[in-house]
């Protein structure tokens, strides 16, 4: 019986020594939650910024086309030259996206 009691006490002691590492592991996992959430938020913000940049590029492209059209309307004789300039500008803008 004494041997069994000693074995039970040793088992209890071993389980108690496992508590601290388990608590430390739980604390480390909890500490990782905040950076992971921050990383997810940063990814969402980056995606939103990229969408806004694409929208701005499209608006710039549209404005350049409108400007070219207005210039052609003011001087119809330069239509071919202006059309070439507009096409080059559109290609450059699209390549930047």
Q: What is the mean pLDDT of residues 4-29?
A: 89
* Residues in Cβ contact with 60 at an 8 Å cutoff, skipping those fewer than 6 apart: 93
Does the pLDDT at position 97 exceed 70?
no
User: Who's near 97: CB < 8 A, 6+ residues apart?
Assistant: 54, 57
Look at phi and psi of residue 75 and say left if phi exceeds 0, alpha if psi is from -120 to 50, else beta: beta
Give CA–CA dist 9/26, Å, rounded. Answer: 26
Whether 67 shows a pLDDT value over 90: the answer reads no
Task: Give residue 93's pLDDT band: very low, low, confident or very high (50, 70, 90).
Answer: low
Q: What is the pLDDT of residues 49-61, one digit of tens each?
A: 999 999 999 999 8
Cα(59)–Cα(71) distance, rounded to whole angstroms?
18
Query: What average pLDDT is seen over the chain?
Result: 84
- Per-residue pLDDT at 70: 85
Task: Indicate the pTM of the whole model.
Answer: 0.52
Domain residues of the chain, as ranges? Answer: 2-96
Q: What percent of the chain has pLDDT over 70?
A: 77
């Amino acid at each position: 019986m004494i041997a069994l009691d000693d074995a039970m006490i040793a088992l209890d002691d071993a389980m108690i020594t496992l508590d601290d590492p388990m608590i430390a592991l739980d604390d480390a996992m909890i500490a990782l939650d905040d950076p992971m959430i921050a990383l997810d938020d940063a990814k969402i913000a980056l995606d939103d910024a990229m969408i806004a940049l694409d929208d701005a590029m499209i608006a710039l492209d549209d404005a350049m086309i409108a400007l070219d059209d207005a210039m052609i309307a003011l001087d119809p004789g330069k239509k071919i030259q202006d059309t070439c300039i507009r096409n080059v500008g559109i290609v450059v803008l699209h390549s930047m996206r």
